[in-house]
Structure 1
Amino acid sequence: MMIIYPKNYETLATYLKNLFNDAGDVTLFTSRFFKEVLKPPFEIKEFFRQCFLIGYKSLPLVAITGFIMGLVLTLQSRPTLAEFGAESWLPGMVALSLIREIAPVITALICAGKIASGIGAELGSMKVTEQIDAMEVSAVNPYKYLVVTRILATTLMVPLLVVFADGVGILGGYAGINIHSDVNLFRYFAQVLESLSFLDIFPATIKTFFFGFFIGMIGCYKGFNAASGTESVGKAANSAVVAASLTIFIIDMLAVQVTDLFF
């Protein structure tokens, strides 16, 4: 029989208390975003700057990853399909796998590692060095300027990066097929388009907006609420990546269930 000492009860109670406190803080932080996003002034210049930093600066990494995903998926799937004489299905299978699941999740995880950590570290350092307090003293709304613009930028840019990864991944599949055979590019894309439907593309695209929103939200929350001290900057960046990655898997699981239920 296992004996639980009072100290264990205290530890569990403290853990649950901190968990519920964090859940409440995140809820308030998120609700404040929906209030601030519709209020003027709108930081358009900062929004476009964040779109450039988040979207354009991530293109090389997303392009390399997308191409490798399509290439490796094609090379790994071809022998199995060849055993059943179904090599002609390879372009459609690769396109469906990339667009419906692989490209959105992998691209979102890359963004969680690159963008969420960067936002968490940037806002955390501003919090530690009291730059956020200085903005409040200067009659500037730091939440509006720092948080709203970054969340809107990630919400918009992550879906665009996923679409870009889809296209590059399909090109990687074309390169993988032509390693062992000679397939015309026009014929390859014709087979890809024949295998895709609106219900394959629409749900996969919609969930990427949620990926982007929560990547930005978690990165901003962790950085905006960093504790004092230089160690908190690293902790904010690290916890932002972990929380954003876990959230992506949860959203993807829910999206698959909703898609199966309604589509």
Structure 2
Amino acid sequence: MIKKFLTAFGEYFLLLGKAIRTPQKMSVFIKLFFREINDLGVNSFGLVVFTSVFVGAVTAIQMFNNFSSSSIPIPTPFIGYATKAVLVLEFSPTIISLILAGKVGSYIASSIGTMRVTEQIDALDIMGVNSPNFLILPKILACVIYNPLLIGLSMAVGIMGGFAAGELTGNWTISDFTTGVQMYMPMLFYYYAFIKTIVFAFIIASVPSFFGYNVSGGSLEVGRSSTQAVVWTMVFIIISELILTQIILG
């Protein structure tokens, strides 16, 4: 089992070595890059906004309930600060990335896997095209560049959800929540969040690409590969978060 895992890990880095090279034709690469921006990033916009609004609202309500049940009176503005801290440190970079791993990862694995089983990748190789570079590099760059924008949007929209929850429940005022959001939080926390996001984006693009590129068989294997890709992407995201948290915040 360990030998099989190490072999797969070596093949993964070998594939990345072929993918991360200067494109053979820049005009084609730019066209593919913007297509991936649309497929992987823009099409995830609605899901990120919808999820972030409701989770931001739920987080704010939970903070209010916890502070209210505390034996020590805690000022209402701390609801805004606590909501912001949860969104920045954990929810937006990690949970949204896990959600995107399911949506984006399955798309990448299935699209490349379908090209493999229909012999389109073999045709590219015969024509002398660097197929890993042609198929994988645009996806990696699109995720690494666009995902931080989605995570920043998630943070902002989640805080807006906290504002909305206060208005709907009447548990806190907008001014109190705004005061809490404006409280100082170390810049290291923001660096930590976006460094995690970039690493997660790389994983979300590269791991499913590896599974899709190495599919063998038919359509059934493509489905299985997509499932494995999502599972392993989530596993690597969780492991990398543990490592990054220890390195940056430890």
> Structures share a fold, TM > 0.5?
yes
Question: Does residue 41 of the first structure (1) align with residue 31 of the second (2)?
Answer: no
- 1:194 alignment partner, SS class: coil
Conserved 8 A contact 2:56-2:158: yes
1:109 aligned residue (87, 98, 101) = 98
1:138, CA displacement in angstroms? Answer: 3.1
TM-score (norm 1): 0.87
How many percent of aligned residue pairs carry the same amino acid? Answer: 29
- 2:183 alignment partner, SS class: helix
CA displacement, residues 166-224 of structure 1 (integer Å, 9 cap, x when unaligned)? 11111111112222235236x63343122333122111111100000011000110001
Question: Does residue 183 of the first structure (1) align with residue 173 of the second (2)?
Answer: yes
Counterpart CA distance in 1 for 2:132 and 2:91 is 34
Question: Does residue 155 of the first structure (1) align with residue 141 of the second (2)?
Answer: no
Question: Does residue 220 of the first structure (1) align with residue 209 of the second (2)?
Answer: yes
- 1:227 alignment partner, SS class: coil
Residue 3 of structure 2 corresponds to 17
Letter in structure 1 aligned against 2:73? G
1:61, CA displacement in angstroms? Answer: 0.6
Counterpart CA distance in 1 for 2:128 and 2:4 is 32
Identify if the C-alpha distance between structure 1 residues 55 and 196 changes in structure 2 by more than 3 Å, giving closer, same or farther: same
**Structure 2 segments unaligned to the other structure (5+ residues):** none
Letter in structure 2 aligned against 1:18? K
**Structure 1 segments unaligned to the other structure (5+ residues):** 1-14
More off after superposition, 204-213 vs 250-259: 250-259
Counterpart CA distance in 2 for 1:105 and 1:126 is 30
Residue pairs, 1:83-232, within 5 angstroms: 83=69, 84-86=72-74, 87-178=76-167, 179-181=169-171, 183-184=173-174, 188-232=177-221
Conserved 8 A contact 2:109-2:211: yes
Counterpart CA distance in 1 for 2:173 and 2:223 is 49
Count, aligned residues: 244
Instruction: Tell me how large the CA RMSD over aligned residues is.
Output: 1.6
Counterpart CA distance in 2 for 1:246 and 1:17 is 19
Residue pairs, 1:31-70, within 5 angstroms: 31-34=17-20, 36=21, 38-42=22-26, 43-70=29-56
Counterpart CA distance in 2 for 1:226 and 1:232 is 7
CA displacement, residues 33-64 of structure 1 (integer Å, 9 cap, x when unaligned)? 33x1x354330111011011111100111111
CA displacement, residues 63-109 of structure 1 (integer Å, 9 cap, x when unaligned)? 11111111111111212212332122100000011101111111101
Counterpart CA distance in 1 for 2:103 and 2:211 is 15
Indicate the structure (1 or 2) with the bigger Cα radius of gyration.
Answer: 1
Counterpart CA distance in 2 for 1:152 and 1:240 is 19
